[in-house]
């Protein structure tokens, strides 16, 4: 339910628009489309972030397993905001994963 920003009366749907007795009109159809496309975009962003498991900035960190000096770097925020985030490295050569604490 929506109310008129001008006079505060309830808006009535008419011909795809919301109308008020005072003459205020709101285009209902185009507004809904806009909201919908925005929601879809947000969902796509979340999906992409979740799938990018192996993609991240590469840093010069030496792998304790194979001695390779390049690893993918990720930050993992711990449950408590007071704690420093855990850094996770994944070796680009052997895929060994390890954590580093500050
Ligand atoms: Zn009004
Ligand atoms: Zn390695």
Say if 4 falls within a structural domain: no
Shared domain for 95 and 63, answered yes or no, is yes
74: three-class secondary structure by DSSP: strand
Domain containing 40 equals 12-51
Task: Look at the chain and count its residues.
Answer: 102
Query: What separation in Å is there between the alpha carbon of 14 and the centre of ligand 1?
Result: 14
Say if 81 falls within a structural domain: yes
Say if 63 falls within a structural domain: yes
Shared domain for 62 and 95, answered yes or no, is yes
For residue 2, how many other CB atoms are within 10 A of its CB?
A: 13
How confident is the model at residue 91, as a pLDDT? 95
Instruction: Give the CA count within 13 Å in the CB-facing half-sphere of 31.
Output: 8
Which residues are found with C-beta within 5 Å of the ion, ligand 1? 4, 6-7, 9, 20, 22, 24
Rounded to 10 degrees, what is the CA torsion of 22, 25, 26, 28? 110
DSSP 8-class letter at 85: P
Say if 5 falls within a structural domain: no
- Within 8 A by CB and 6+ apart from 47, the residues are none
Shared domain for 17 and 45, answered yes or no, is yes
CATH number at residue 69: 2.20.25.10
Say if 7 falls within a structural domain: no
Instruction: Transcribe 25-72 into DSSP letters.
Output: EEEHHHHHHHHHHHHHHHHHHHHHHHH-SS-S-EE----TTT--S-EE
Query: What separation in Å is there between the alpha carbon of 4 and the centre of ligand 1?
Result: 5
Say if 6 falls within a structural domain: no
* Number of domains the chain is built from: 2
pLDDT tens digit sequence for 16-59: 889 999 999 988 655 555 555 666 566 555 555 544 455 678 99
Global pTM exceeds 0.85: no
How confident is the model at residue 90, as a pLDDT? 93
The pLDDT confidence band at residue 60, using thresholds 50, 70 and 90, is: very high
């Amino acid at each position: 339910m929506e109310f008129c920003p001008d006079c505060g009366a309830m808006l009535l749907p008419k011909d795809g628009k919301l109308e008020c007795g005072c003459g205020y009109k709101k285009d209902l159809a185009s507004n809904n489309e806009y909201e919908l496309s925005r929601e879809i975009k947000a969902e796509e962003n979340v999906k992409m972030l979740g799938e990018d498991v192996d993609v991240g900035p590469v840093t010069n960190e030496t792998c304790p397993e194979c001695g390779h000096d390049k690893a993918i770097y990720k930050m993992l925020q711990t449950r408590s905001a007071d704690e420093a985030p855990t850094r996770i490295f994944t070796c680009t050569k052997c895929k060994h994963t390890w954590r580093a604490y500050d």
